[in-house]
Amino acid sequence: MLVSHYRHCFGCGTDHPAGLHQRAIAGDGMDVATVVEITQAHQGAPGLAHGGVIATAMDEAMGVVTRLLRVPVVTVRLEVDYRRPVPVGTTLHIASRITGQRGRKVYTEALGHLDAPDGPIAVEAAALFLQVGLEHFLDHGNAEQLQEAIEERRRSGVTWEGEVNP
């Protein structure tokens, strides 16, 4: 199980009250499997997950796989193709992988399956991430929260510099 990069992250944070609480497991290569439970809180149309929530889950899954590179990244482009509705009460199993790298660019893709890792494909996504320095988060984020996240990572035995994807 991969540890959340920040406990208040909407996608993977364990302490975010309205978050997805997405869980991730590293695969054998440059791939990761994540799981998200679709609840009433994620509803858009009656009984169905909101498309923005699904896009967030896909972005999180592809962001998690970039952590295998041990460099901080940010999402630059996200493409999502919705293949079938995702009902409330289902589990979305997302398989993500790194498809390439060029300079600071990291290319990823993901498939979201309904209720099982080999279930029907409900969503496909591709994303481009850009490697950035930690100063990016100091310049554009909250320095106090960044320091909190760095301390959390150190206590867990993983340095922030090698395991960040805010």
As given in the structure block, the two tokens for residue 75 are: 């999402």
Q: Does the model's pTM come out above 0.85?
A: yes
Q: Per-residue confidence at 158, pLDDT binned at 50, 70, 90?
A: low
Q: Is the pLDDT of residue 11 over 70?
A: yes
Q: What is the pLDDT of residue 128?
A: 99
Residue 84 pLDDT: 98
Contact 59, 77 (CB under 8 A): no
**Token code pair at residue 66:** 């970039």
From residue 160, give the alpha-carbon distance in Å to each of 67, 70, 90, 134. Answer: 11, 9, 33, 9
Locus of tokens 């993901």 = 110
Which is more confident, 68 or 44? Answer: 44
Instruction: Give the pLDDT confidence of 80-131 residue by residue, as tens digits.
Output: 999 999 999 999 999 999 999 999 999 999 999 999 999 999 999 999 999 9
What gap in Å lies between CA 56 and CA 158, rounded to an integer? 25
Q: Phi, psi (5° rounding) for residue 148? A: -60, -45
| C-alpha triplet 152, 37, 159: angle, nearest 5° | 20
Dihedral of CA 52/94/98/22: which sign?
positive
> What is the rounded average pLDDT of the residues 150-155?
75
Burial of 85 (0-12, 13-18, 19+ CB in 10 A): middle
Higher pLDDT, 81 or 164: 81
Q: Count H helices and E strands in the chain, helices first.
A: 3, 6
- Give domain 23-159's CATH superfamily: Hotdog Thioesterase (3.10.129.10)
Q: How far is CA 18 from CA 15, 26, 42, 54, 75, in A?
A: 9, 25, 9, 14, 21
Average pLDDT, the chain: 89
Query: In the predicted model, is pLDDT for residue 160 greater than 70?
Result: no
